[in-house]
Amino acid sequence: MSVTSSVTVRVPLAIRRRPGKKTVVTPMADGASAAVTRADPALVKALARAFRYQRMLDQGRYASITEMAAAEQIDRGYLGRLIKLALLAPDIVEAMLEAQWAESPSLPTLMSPFPIEWVEQRRTSALLASSSVRAIAAAAP
């Protein structure tokens, strides 16, 4: 006759939800500092692509978004929405990249229409998802 026994292992951890994924955060060893939360990787990638595509248009590599979309084999509408991210106010982009707020705007939120003027962007409720961005908006001229 065999005896079956079980062992229960408890590991203290926290699960942080980010747009599109969950991250497991484990406790740090004695004396070690906690890991710094970074910006959403999908958001960082989208911003990098937006600035890259805008730079290619500015340098004259492509004459239009339509031509670029065909060459890059992506949908023209998606490319147009993506390039618009290059028009975000620099302080908003910096805050997103440095993950200065707990609830950064999601990529789908940023892909929706937003004002071109930086002052209006700072006042737009879709971009003001957190108190950190509201502080940026309040400090803006």
| 107-116 confidence digits (pLDDT tens) | 888 888 888 8
pTM for the whole structure: 0.64
**For 141, which DSSP code?**
-
| 54-107 confidence digits (pLDDT tens) | 999 999 999 999 999 999 999 999 999 999 999 998 888 888 887 765 566 778
Distance of CA 43 to the CA centre of its chain: 3
Task: Give 4's pLDDT tier (boundaries 50, 70, 90).
Answer: confident
Domain spans, the chain: 40-86, 88-141
* Three-state secondary structure call for residue 25: strand
